[in-house]
Amino acid sequence: MRTPGRRRQMLGVPLLVATLLAGACGDGGGTADSSATSATTPATPEASPSSGGPVTIPKSAFADLPPALRKNDAQPMEVTDALPELCAEEFRSGGRSVTASAAMMSTYKQPKDPPENVPYGTLHQTVFAFEGTGAADYLRRVRGAMESCRSFKEAGGTVTVRSQPMARTGDEALLVTVTRPATALDGSPADGQATSQIIVIRVADAVTVVHDQGWEGTSNDPGLADDIAGAAVRGLDSWQR
C-alpha cells in the first residue's frame, strides 16, 4: 500500500543523467574505478591486465522492469554514486578480478498509480564483471560485511541493517533491509521509520547490486523485491548465459 504521506504531484525536476563509470579496478584493496566516460549507454571498459580482452557491459544486462512498474527509462550514472554505503564501503568491489563495472538509475511506480503521480521509488543498479572466482568472492565478502554491520549511527538516530539469503534467485543472492528514522522533504525528523533494500545477485561471473529506495526519503515497497530481483536476474542471464 502507498505510504500515507507520499506526495502525489507532477515530477518537477528532470532526472540528472550522470556519466557512466566503467573500467577495471586498479589494485587489490581499492574501491571501484573512479574514471568515467561521457556516454548515454554503457561503454566498453578497459580490460584489466589479467583479462583476455575488453569486457562490455551492455544496457540489456540491467533490470528491465515489467511495464506495470516502469516509470522512466534507465539512465547511466557513476558506480561510485550508485553503490550504497552502510557502516563502511561494504559494496565496493576491490581486487583485480573485476574486469568491468557500470551503473544505471531508473524509477518505478506501483501498478495502479495514475500517470501524474511522482515515482514510487528509485533503483540504483550496478553491474560488475569478474574473472576467476571473483564473483563468488564478492558475495562472500558482502555477507561477511553484513554480519559485522547490524546497526550504525547517522544524523537523526540509529539505522538498523538486516540481511537474509534470497532463495531461487540467480546462482546466489542476498537481500539487505535498511531501516532508518523517517525524515521530511527538507531533511528534518519525521514520525515513524523509512526502509530501503539492497539486492545483491550473482549470475555466473557477474554480480549486480540493486539499491531500492522510496521516492524522496519515503519507504520502498518490500513486496516488490521479487519483481525487481527477477528483472535483474533476467538482465544478467541475457548477457551471461
56 touches 46 (CB < 8 A): no
Mean pLDDT, residues 138-162: 94
Tell me the longest C-alpha to C-alpha distance in the chain: 54
Look over the chain and give the mean of its residue pLDDT values, rounded to a whole number: 82
Residue 188, number of CB atoms within 10 A of its CB: 8
> Is 17's pLDDT higher than 70?
no
> Is 38's pLDDT higher than 80?
no
Reported as a single tens digit per residue, the pLDDT across 181-207 is: 998 877 788 889 999 999 999 999 999
Alpha-carbon gap, residue 116 to 96, rounded angstroms: 46
Reported as a single tens digit per residue, the pLDDT across 63-119 is: 999 999 999 999 999 999 999 999 999 999 877 899 999 999 999 999 999 999 999
Alpha-carbon gap, residue 141 to 158, rounded angstroms: 24
Mean pLDDT, residues 55-70: 95
> Is 229's pLDDT higher than 60?
yes
Dihedrals phi, psi of 90, to nearest 5 degrees: -65, -25
Domains of the chain: 20-26+35-240 (3.40.1000)
